[in-house]
Amino acid sequence: MLDLYIGNKNYSSWSLRIWLLLKHFGIPFREHWVSVAGREYNPALRPLAGNARVPALHDDGFQVWESIAIAEYLAERHPALWPSDPKARARARSVSAEMHAGFANLRKAMPMNLKFRFKGKPADEKVQRDIDRVVEIWTEARTEFAGTGGPYLFGAFSIADCMFAPVVFRFDIYNVPLPPVAAAYRDTLLAHPAMKEWREEGIRETEAHAHFDAMAKEYGGPR
CATH code of the domain in which 191 resides: 1.20.1050.10
The answer on 184 and 101 residing in a single domain is yes
Same domain (yes/no): 121, 53: no
Question: Does 197 lie in the same domain as 93?
Answer: yes
pLDDT in tens, the chain (223 residues): 999 999 999 999 999 999 999 999 999 999 999 987 555 677 888 899 999 899 999 999 999 999 999 999 999 999 999 999 999 999 999 999 999 999 999 999 999 999 999 988 899 999 999 999 999 999 999 999 999 899 999 999 999 999 999 999 999 999 999 999 999 999 999 999 999 999 999 999 998 877 777 766 676 667 7
Instruction: Single out the residue of 215, 120, 105 nearest to residue 174, CA to CA.
Output: 120
CATH number for the domain including 30? 3.40.30.10
**Residue 37: its pLDDT value, please?**
59
Domain that holds residue 31: 2-79
Q: Of the candidates 149, 178, 157, which has an alpha carbon nearest to the alpha carbon of residue 82?
A: 157
- End-of-domain residue from the set 79, 114, 134: 79
Give yes or no: residues 8 and 65 share one domain: yes
Query: Phi then psi for 2, rounded to 5 degrees?
Result: -85, 145
Paired strand residues for 31: 4
Q: What is the pLDDT of residue 167?
A: 98
Let me know if residue 219 belongs to a domain. no
- The tally of domains found in the chain comes to 2
Q: Are residues 96 and 170 in the same domain?
A: yes
> How buried is 8 (Cβ within 10 angstroms: 0-12 exposed, 13-18 middle, 19+ buried)?
buried
Helix (H, G, I), strand (E, B) or coil at 47: coil
Give pLDDT, residue 44.
82
pLDDT on residue 28: 98
Asked if residue 189 and residue 111 are part of one domain, the reply reads yes
